[in-house]
Structure 1
Amino acid sequence: MAKSTKSEKTERQRIIEETLKKQRTAEKKRGNAIVGIAVLIAVIILGVAIYPMARGAFEESKYEDKALNDIGAEPSVCQKVVEKAGRDVGTHVPEGQQVTYDTAPPAFGPHWNAIGAPAPFEDKFYDKDDRPELEQLVHNLEHGYTILWYDESIADDPGQLGQIEAIAKKFKESGDAKNYRNKFIAAPWLSSDENGAKFPKDQHIAFTHWKGDSQTSTGVWQYCSEVSGAALETFMDDYPYTDAPEAVVI
């Protein structure tokens, strides 16, 4: 067998080196492509998560200079106010004990009496991640609050959710921070809350209030298909914090 000449070996080495170089370049390109795809996926996932919040904040900012009754739809999107005989003024159950309320949402009933119940006066807006338990919020009702409840379809609608956040902000920032007139909370009504009771068909917003005294009380509801600051303003004028069983308590 003939021996390879020095020039043949050099040429062969050159080919091997070029081949290896091409392989390294191809591998580097594949690696860069994988990293690029991973970054793109991360950006998309992050964008999907942030977009609703960003749009909600944008929607809220649109109403900074608007009065409460200019936010959302006309009052005609709301049904007539409903009143039902209430009960359980001052009825406290141990913290952590769950109460089954037979209305969606509750306007009266047994509730917790502990730290965090009622929910803090300064907190006007909650989402599904930080909402107090129903038993805490019912105690707020006993103290004269009006609660705007919104269902999951509204929670998924950045436009209407932004309107609710803007409404809540009006109560948080208007006048004296301890002005009881600002006894308002917006909170989500979750499918896990239902226990057989649901909002009326095609209604996605509910206002609730608990009026009365230690002897006789009444639960008050108004359901709406859309957000209406004007309807809320009328509701709170007709059912002020002063008519609640324990109105003088925050």
Structure 2
Amino acid sequence: MAKPAKTDRKAVIEQMRKKQKSSDRRRGAVIVTVCVLVALGIIGAAVVPILLDKKNDSELDSKALDQIGSAATVCQKVTTKKADGNSQHVPVDTPVDYTTAPPAFGAHWNQAGLAPASFSRKFYSTDDRPALEALVHNLEHGYTILWYDDTIAQDKTALADVEAISRKFGGDDFRNKFIAAPWKSDDEDGAAFPDGQHVAFTHWSAGGNGETDTSKQVGAFQYCSAVSGAALSDFMDEYPYTDSPEPTVP
């Protein structure tokens, strides 16, 4: 049988090479496409939650304070307890045992006459919260503190409500003396909130606006089963920054 001509063999080899190159190109295109889709998926997985959070923040920021979170009925009645510790400063890093969970008054760290937590900082997480002894100094200066427990900290929606509430107190107006901070019910802070309660408001009251008799000072407490901007609004109306031992200090 006659052997194929060399030109025929070359044509066959060239055709095979072309097919291989075409196959390689298709394989490369598929690999590139898959890589692009994977990259877009990774980017989307990172970006979409951020965009959704921003959208949620925008929606919450459009609401009035008393429209954020649950109705005021999720909170118990305000209670008070005779206060002590007025101007009772102890050296920084000295631990103080507070008798309530959370505190509304008591001895606190001396920070050169100034409240240690910045006036411009309204929200703290479990990672960056100041010590209790520092925050009690803020209470003496008229701040209201919204304390939230681990149940709220672990609930994305509830924590977003707390952060949205804190953003309502921006600016340099003294009426915005407010801080939201976590309560760590363990050996670090102390006892847990009452059963079923996950939020607490505290304020160090002078006993009335302009009251100078320290014997009339009380700590005001309100516990809530959920986050409620409406209840907080009512609480701060009843206990404004002016009703405190040192209202004129930042």
TM-score bucket of the superposed structures, by smaller chain:
0.7 to 0.9
1:234 aligns with 2:234: yes
Structure 2 counterpart of 1:122: 120
Q: Provide the identity percentage.
A: 46
User: Contact 1:90/1:214 (CA < 8 Å) preserved in 2?
Assistant: no
Distance between the aligned counterparts of 1:224 and 1:41, measured in 2?
Answer: 40
Q: How far did 1:188 drift? A: 3.5
- TM norm structure 2: 0.76
User: Contact 1:56/1:161 (CA < 8 Å) preserved in 2?
Assistant: no
- TM norm structure 1: 0.76
Distance between the aligned counterparts of 2:95 and 2:10, measured in 1?
Answer: 85
Unaligned ranges ≥5, structure 2: 207-211
Question: Residues 60 and 93 (structure 1 numbering): CA distance in 2 closer, same or farther, change over 3 Å?
Answer: same
Question: Residues 93 and 49 (structure 1 numbering): CA distance in 2 closer, same or farther, change over 3 Å?
Answer: farther
User: Contact 1:214/1:245 (CA < 8 Å) preserved in 2?
Assistant: no
Candidates 140, 143, 149, aligned match of 1:142? 140
Question: Residues 92 and 21 (structure 1 numbering): CA distance in 2 closer, same or farther, change over 3 Å?
Answer: farther
User: Contact 2:132/2:189 (CA < 8 Å) preserved in 1?
Assistant: no
Distance between the aligned counterparts of 2:138 and 2:144, measured in 1?
Answer: 8
Question: Residues 7 and 13 (structure 1 numbering): CA distance in 2 closer, same or farther, change over 3 Å?
Answer: same
Structure 2 counterpart of 1:48: 49
1:76 aligns with 2:76: no
Distance between the aligned counterparts of 2:205 and 2:20, measured in 1?
Answer: 85
Question: Residues 57 and 245 (structure 1 numbering): CA distance in 2 closer, same or farther, change over 3 Å?
Answer: same
Distance between the aligned counterparts of 2:94 and 2:51, measured in 1?
Answer: 35
Question: Residues 123 and 23 (structure 1 numbering): CA distance in 2 closer, same or farther, change over 3 Å?
Answer: same
Structure 2 counterpart of 1:218: 218
1:27 aligns with 2:24: no
User: Contact 2:142/2:242 (CA < 8 Å) preserved in 1?
Assistant: yes
Distance between the aligned counterparts of 2:82 and 2:101, measured in 1?
Answer: 15
Distance between the aligned counterparts of 1:49 and 1:103, measured in 2?
Answer: 38
Distance between the aligned counterparts of 2:150 and 2:56, measured in 1?
Answer: 17
Q: How far did 1:201 drift? A: 2.4
User: Contact 2:60/2:68 (CA < 8 Å) preserved in 1?
Assistant: no
1:92-147 deviation line (CA, Å, top 9, x unaligned): 34445565645432222343333884323233344456544433322110111111
Output the amino acid matched with 1:225. Answer: S
Structure 2 counterpart of 1:18: 19
Unaligned ranges ≥5, structure 1: none
User: Contact 1:145/1:241 (CA < 8 Å) preserved in 2?
Assistant: yes
Question: Residues 230 and 17 (structure 1 numbering): CA distance in 2 closer, same or farther, change over 3 Å?
Answer: closer
Q: How far did 1:215 drift? A: 5.2
Q: CA RMSD in A?
A: 3.4
Q: How far did 1:210 drift? A: 1.6
Question: Residues 191 and 41 (structure 1 numbering): CA distance in 2 closer, same or farther, change over 3 Å?
Answer: farther
| Stretch deviating more after TM superposition (136-145 or 125-134) | 125-134
SS at match of 2:52: helix
Distance between the aligned counterparts of 2:190 and 2:54, measured in 1?
Answer: 31
| Stretch deviating more after TM superposition (101-110 or 18-27) | 101-110
Q: How far did 1:155 drift? A: 4.5
